Homo-oligomer: A and B are copies of this chain.
Amino acid sequence: MKALLLVAHGSRREASNDEVRKLTDCLRRQSGQRFGDVRCAFLELADPSIPDGIEQCIEAGAAEVVVVPYFLSAGRHVVQDIPEQVALKQKQYPDRDIQIVDYLGTAPGLVDTLLGLATAPEGSA
């Protein structure tokens, strides 16, 4: 079974963490048959941590965990912190395939998503 783990930064503002959790619910609903388990984890300031999130995926039966960094730029968190935490879990579970895909800021669909916002009939302002 393949799991998707959305990894966000985490915030002291719990409502921001809840936004990530709600987005994860939407991901779960829309993922169809592609992922048998869809969860989120946080680099810091919120639970679960990245190692705990990966652990949960494995406990749920995932042979493969796809880590999706919910980040807009390739700063230290994306380049160093997330890979380090993932590598430790990969070492702990050598028989599972834990891979990190490109972070959100590089997504091919991002431009259309932003243009969609910009041309929506009603904004939030």
Chain A residues within CB distance 8 Å of chain B: 4, 6, 8, 11, 13, 15-16, 19-20, 23, 26-27, 30-31, 34-35, 66-68, 70, 72-75, 83, 86, 99-120, 123-125
Once the chains are docked, how many angstroms separate the CA of A11 from the CA of B114? 20
Q: A101-B125, A118-B35 are in contact. Are A70 and B72 (CB under 8 A)?
A: yes
Q: Is the interface of A mostly helix, strand, loop or mixed?
A: mixed
Chain B residues lying within 8 Å of A86, measured Cβ to Cβ, are 125
Determine if A125 and B23 form an interchain contact, defined as CB atoms under 8 angstroms apart: no
CA gap between A78 and B101 in the complex, in Å: 27
Judging by beta carbons under 8 Å apart, are A117 and B105 in contact? no
